[in-house]
Amino acid sequence: MQKFLKSRMMVSMIPYFILALAIIVTWHLVGSWGSFAAAFGRFWGTITPFMYGLLVAYILNMPTSFFQRLLQKTNIPFIAKRSRGFAVLIVMLLSLGVIALALNFIIPAIWRSLVLFVNQFENYQQGFLEFIARVNEWDLPDFMDGFYIDPDEWMAELTGLFARFFADFDGENMAWLLNFVGSVFGSVFSTMFQGILTFVSCIFLLMQRDRIIAFACRITQAVTAENTYAFIMKYSRKLNFNFRMYIYTQTIDGLILGTIMTIILAIAGSPFFLILGLVLGILNYVPYFGSIVGTAIALVVVAFTQGLGIALVLLPIMFFVQQLDGNFIQPKLMGGSFSLSPLLIIVSVTIGGAYAGILGMLMAIPIVAVIKDMLDSFMEYREEKKEAAKNAPPPPDDYY
């Protein structure tokens, strides 16, 4: 029996057996895709705070390593021996201080903007109604004859909707309202709990960084061949470099773009220039989509609060700044680290956002850049192998 299992026929059947097994597994996965997707969604929702903690720890590891090197150079053995812990403590205190200063500066500005928006709401509403009146006066083509927007009818319908809701406020509406309030409080509590998990996991990851890396290298070396281990380490270093470059360049570029847009909006007289500039700078971390969405939000706010005319004047200016940033500033900052086509960036960001949310959008570009490097190396290897086979000398006459 053992001799039969080791025979040439049985060995030749192994690939077909593996193929049949893969088809069966794929068939079952497709058949239960809904359950599989739901289970994966629950799993991803559970580990998301730890993934954000990993991202924050990765970013904070840069200043932490800097302070660790400084502390190791001290002549105090107690501090030098515990340099990692003291470095983490210094970075955490500095981070909390920066957050406190930012909140102390940003929250009052946001509150003043909200109060201003509420106080000026009637003026904004009147400006919107005047815009509708001007639209009704346009000389439209014949096929749009009879087009008319009645603002009074819209306001009456909206008022009637609220009146009917409160007039028919029964137990069902009360249950809906309670469920809505409960979901809001539940979301706030869940966000706070996830924030605490992110903060705690970030501290532990920073403290145990060297041990985690050593364990990952050890287990990878134990389960893989030497060439495979060298391959994994090579592209792990490349991925690490890509993440560092991406965080650095997007942060600098976001500061530049946010500052320019803030100045433009301030010159235009927008009372919300600080908040809109901050939103543009933060959204710039998401390639292509981020700056477009941020600019659209800024233009909508300007159109609603200052009038459509000013928004139309700002549109080409903001478009020019975006083009300047995308075609000159970003390429200068990134160099050749992320030489990806715009279509590939859009597809990768979309897929990353669909499967992993904001975290997937932030991680998509560095990961896709490494995958592209791997494919380029593989294609170069295959092309060189084919070229070598083509240029190889022919076999001697008596070879056959």
* Interval 57-90: pLDDT, tens: 888 888 888 888 888 888 788 888 888 888 989 9
Residue of 85, 59, 58 whose CA lies nearest to 72: 85
Strand runs labelled E in 14-78: none
The answer to whether residue 55 scores a pLDDT higher than 60 is yes
Q: Please, are residues 366 and 246 in contact by the beta-carbon 8 Å criterion?
A: yes
- pLDDT value of residue 12: 59
Strand runs labelled E in 337-398: none
- pLDDT value of residue 97: 87
pLDDT tens profile 144-199: 565 666 666 666 666 666 555 555 555 555 666 667 667 777 777 777 888 888 88
pLDDT tens profile 323-348: 888 777 777 776 655 667 777 777 77
Report the mean per-residue pLDDT for the chain.
76
Instruction: Return the structure tokens found at 66.
Output: 């800097």
- pLDDT value of residue 96: 86
Is 101 exposed, middle or buried (CB count within 10 Å of its CB: 0-12, 13-18, 19+)?
exposed
- pLDDT value of residue 10: 53
CA distance 269 to 302: 9
Torsion sign across C-alpha atoms 246, 248, 249, 255: positive
| Local confidence band at 290 (pLDDT 50, 70, 90 cut-offs) | confident
Phi, psi of 335 (to 5 degrees): 65, -130
- pLDDT value of residue 123: 67
| Local confidence band at 271 (pLDDT 50, 70, 90 cut-offs) | confident
Higher per-residue confidence, 357 vs 192: 192
Residue of 389, 347, 382, 388 whose CA lies nearest to 368: 347
- Give me the torsion for CA of 91, 95, 101, 105, rounded to 10°: 150
pLDDT tens profile 24-50: 767 666 666 666 667 766 777 778 888
Least confident of 216-230, 295-309, 378-392: 378-392
The answer to whether residue 238 scores a pLDDT higher than 80 is yes
CB atoms near residue 260 (< 10 Å): 19
Is 80 exposed, middle or buried (CB count within 10 Å of its CB: 0-12, 13-18, 19+)?
middle
Question: pTM for this one?
Answer: 0.63
Least confident of 67-71, 183-187, 202-206, 230-234: 183-187
| Local confidence band at 4 (pLDDT 50, 70, 90 cut-offs) | very low
Q: What is the mean pLDDT of residues 222-229?
A: 84
User: At a CB cut-off of 8 Å and minimum separation 6, what does 199 contact?
Assistant: 53
User: At a CB cut-off of 8 Å and minimum separation 6, what does 359 contact?
Assistant: 48, 51, 52, 55
- pLDDT value of residue 5: 47
- pLDDT value of residue 284: 81
| Local confidence band at 394 (pLDDT 50, 70, 90 cut-offs) | low
Higher per-residue confidence, 260 vs 291: 260
Q: What is the mean pLDDT of residues 207-224?
A: 87
Q: Please, are residues 210 and 87 in contact by the beta-carbon 8 Å criterion?
A: no
| Local confidence band at 378 (pLDDT 50, 70, 90 cut-offs) | confident
CA distance 364 to 372: 12
Higher per-residue confidence, 201 vs 392: 201
